[in-house]
Structure 1
């Protein structure tokens, strides 16, 4: 259970500053030098967070190293190519890719991977409704559906909040302290930028399938299914995805339409109604703001 265990894996809060430092380096740099710049002795914080960040970035293939200890030489890895020092959005995309990459079509190899704990909780949490449901440490400790192999305590809960936000799949609840909701709008928008060019329109079902392919922990995605969180129907977007799509429609970045001549429609969840909102096409608007 490495990714929800701060003693085994660094949190994104520390990983991002270390990665930014590496992103501007030319060639390789020693671990000792990295520590001197990112955790100088004058701060009195020690070097453990930096060392753990380097190890985590190495496991995610964002960095590569040769040698051991302070003399190890670090360089950018294959997953880091093309990430600018200030491009946190691209960093988020690569984090998701690194965490969810699988060597097997059904993602079975990830069930026992270092990120299995994080993946399992994300799959569980993304089935909830961000309009009406939120999670706190207290609520998950008493929720019998919470993944049973994860011991809920404040350190694991804090790690989940940090990782969920870092990969754009959760957000802080706007009305309750130390709580989060299944707001995956950031990750969904980044995926839609790959699926749709500005001004392009596609069948809604094709877009929905594309989102589940790029973010396989979403309801209906291959990792959600493999980890035992089965989705009712391929056509049902579910609360979390619906929340994200409708948010970007409200903000003028997407246009969701139902065409009378459409062959297929997806069903978007509506929190204030017993009926689904049908959608047949999704269009990315060129004139939308960033």
Structure 2
């Protein structure tokens, strides 16, 4: 459970500033120098968060190192190359890729990954409805269906909130303090940018399948299935994914449409009706900027 244990793995709150510093370096830089710039002694915060951030970035493939201790030399790794210092969206995409890739093809070797508990909880949480359901430390402590002991203390719960937001798969609840909802709109938009060019239209089922490949923790995705969370039909988007797709449609970045001659339609959940919304095509609009 390393990614839910801040004593073993740095939280994204610290990882991103350290990575931004490394993103502008032209070559190797010593750990001592990284600490001096990102956690100067005058702040009195110590260097443990920076050291742990470097180690975590190394494990995820964003950085590489040679040597040990303060004299270790750090450089950008394969996952970190090409990310601009202000491109947090690209960092999020690479972060998800690194976490998902740690499980191997089709989610094998689940128990061996330090991200196993984090991914299991994300799979479970993304089955909830962001319109009506939200989670706080108090609520998960009384909900025995949560698939992890993340509710054992506020530190572990805070780690889940931090990683969920950093991967674009959860967000703070707008109506409740210290709560989060299964708002995966950020991750879904980033994935759609890979699946659809501006102005391009595709069959809705093809888009749904593509999203589950790029974000396999979504209901129906390979990791969600591997962790034992059954999804009834590939045509059903599920509450969280429906929330994300409808948001981008409402904001004018996507156009969801139903063609009368379509052979297949996907089903999106809506809290306003007992019936699903049916769509057959998804188009990425060129002019909108959400």
TM-score range, shorter chain: over 0.9
Deviations 1:109-135 (A, max 9, x none): 233201001101100100000000000
1:89-128 equivalence runs, <5 A: 89-102=89-102, 104-128=104-128
1:211 maps to which residue?
Answer: 211
Q: Compute the displacement of 1:148 (Å).
A: 4.2
**Aligned alpha-carbon RMSD (Å):** 1.0
Q: Compute the displacement of 1:104 (Å).
A: 3.6
Retained in 2: the 8 A contact 1:200–1:283? yes
Structure 1 segments unaligned to the other structure (5+ residues): none
Give me the whole-angstrom Cα distance separating, in 1, the residues matched to 2:187 and 2:262: 27
2:153 maps to which residue?
Answer: 153
Give me the whole-angstrom Cα distance separating, in 1, the residues matched to 2:73 and 2:186: 34
Deviations 1:61-117 (A, max 9, x none): 000001110011000000111100110000000000000015643211233201001
1:215-230 equivalence runs, <5 A: 215-230=215-230
Q: 1:158 to 1:102 in 2, by over 3 A?
A: closer
Q: Compute the displacement of 1:168 (Å).
A: 0.3
1:1-290 equivalence runs, <5 A: 1-102=1-102, 104-148=104-148, 150=150, 152-290=152-290
Retained in 1: the 8 A contact 2:29–2:73? yes
Give me the whole-angstrom Cα distance separating, in 2, the residues matched to 1:42 and 1:103: 41
Give me the whole-angstrom Cα distance separating, in 2, the residues matched to 1:81 and 1:237: 33
Give me the whole-angstrom Cα distance separating, in 1, the residues matched to 2:89 and 2:104: 27
Give me the whole-angstrom Cα distance separating, in 2, the residues matched to 1:103 and 1:127: 21
Give me the whole-angstrom Cα distance separating, in 2, the residues matched to 1:219 and 1:156: 24
Per the alignment, in what secondary structure is the counterpart of residue 237 of structure 1?
A: coil
Give me the whole-angstrom Cα distance separating, in 2, the residues matched to 1:269 and 1:231: 14
Q: 1:3 to 1:203 in 2, by over 3 A?
A: same
Aligned length: 290
> Scaled by the length of structure 2, what TM-score is found?
0.98
Q: 1:2 to 1:16 in 2, by over 3 A?
A: same
